[in-house]
Structure 1
Amino acid sequence: MHPRLFQYLDAVWGPHSIDRFASMNTTLCPRYNSLYLDPFTCGVDALHQSDWATENNFVNAPIRLVDRVLEIICSPEAYATVIAPAWRAKTWYQKLKELSIGPPIRLPQASQFCIPHSIAMPEALKNHRDLCLKKLRQKAITLLALAAMCRPSDLAPRVGLFRNQVLFKPNGCLAAQFFGTKNDSDRHGFEVQIDPSSNPLTDPVSCLREYIEKTKIHVGVTGPLFVNTTPPYMAMSAASVSSVLRDSIKEAGLGSEFTARCFRPTGATAAVLGGVAAHTARSLGRWKTDDVLFNRYVFPLDSDSITDKMFSVKLT
């Protein structure tokens, strides 16, 4: 398990005092049990330890041992965070549900949902001002989709996304109002604030400002935010935004398993695992509850304003 995912679980159900199935090279806690004797283990074979009831146990055991782990937890009424597959046909599945003191957190494979942070598009490494209009638009859409955790339809809603809904504040932040998005059920809209990145090459705020300046001559200051690159410069559709995001994925060398919809969970995951407070990530991504954010959009991921915590780019 990636340490940052463990940090999140530790924040929810911890602090965990011991990693029951680990080694000196894989332990996620200062104390651990190992299968074989090593210099730092607190005991060999977690199943034969007598201190389960006095510890907050972290258990990522082999699947074949889940049954025995649950027996141990029941016997001394111990507390434990148990990592296990959702295999309903297994005899231990119902017992696991009965013992749970809260709803489980689903942990799907990250590669199907999140775009790797270390991927960099060569074109994106250029200064904003050195890009042609089409590439500048692509970069602005890509960075905004990550930073604001957007679906393609969020950037091209039916009611429109206009330039007077975007405000560049004196403190360097960007404030944007979204109306008519999928989770705007009461149609009151959302205001999202995006911090600038310390890396000017991947800063969504300065990139969007540059794009707006370059296209102002075509659509004015109140026209659609993202427009086609040829006359009559009409507002982009959600399908067109999706196409732009797919181009970014392709140029980054990623496979077809990644889609334009990956940008929303990628931004959410990078924010949470990067240390952004849950309520901040939830507000930025426009989710109403923590359950929706963590159970449907946050996945394991390898990876210092809030924007820096959402994505990083290798410069070499």
Structure 2
Amino acid sequence: MDRRTLFGGTAALAASGLVVTAPGESDGLYVERRGERQIMVWTREPGHLWIRYELRHFTDPAKRMDAWRLQEITAVRQAGPPPATAEGIRLATAAAYPYAIKPAGALDHFGGLHGDELLQNLLFLLDGRAALPSGVTAAGEFELTQDTQVLDPAQEAPTVLGDVNVRHIFTASGLRIRWVLRWRAARVIEYAYGAMLPAVRADTVTTRFRYLDQAVEHGIGAPGHRAPPADSYGAELYNTVNGLTMSVEVEPGFFNGYAQSDGRGVWVYDGDTYNKVYPTRVSKPGAEQVAPGDTWHLDATYRIRYPS
């Protein structure tokens, strides 16, 4: 029995102003190419709304930034496949989904929309084969993989800190992000996050959450919540009215035994507009020394379901 049934079922959906779609909808995965710099990946499991992931190519010389990024995640209520014929419901905002890392002495992180990352190689794959998406394409799996160099945010002259390969792997059931960072320079790292989930805080989006290794739920429906951080490996955020769930689960190796996470292996930001999940490898006063040849790995799975 799902949460939508437990908390009011179809009547609750109707009261929210959402229209319940008819049976017989299409499902699966579609890739929609929108010009040279934007790709929409549509995924849908039977009985659920479409989940649409926006990927964009960002270039910003002022930020020393040239890389593809995952942007907003949206639920779309329509019976047929893409392109969109209905307005979306924003579930998650732009953020540094795969990683954001701050060396000591820097004013900002590298990664995500912070910048200090330059594209070296790019590959799109449809069902395991290299292919350039065009128009709207149905597939069982879509992957965007890229090689980048990450730069030291503390230095004006470009200084390469490491080489990264990051893979965004989409199927109808969700998104998997995998990356490996090969360090080329010695640094002390004072903050390091991976597989973030910037979920929107709204009455129709996220109001509750739980750590995946705890049988306790916490309220996150208002700014200033004080849900305690935990050395966990992921979190599920959900809505008790419409049955929406969003989760991110990280393979424990990323956390390096929580040795430098200051008891904040996973925590949820309590700001005004979103509930952002931060899986954390390093957090002050913790610090991690890296040396040339060291490697960091992340393997994370995102699951988003919005019952129709």
Q: Which interval holds the TM-score relative to the shorter structure?
A: under 0.3
Judging by fraction of residues, say which structure has more strand.
2
More helix as a share of residues: 1
Q: Could you tell me the TM-score, scaled by structure 1's length?
A: 0.24
Normalised by the length of structure 2, the TM-score is 0.24
Higher relative contact order (Cα pairs below 8 Å, separated by 6+ residues): 1
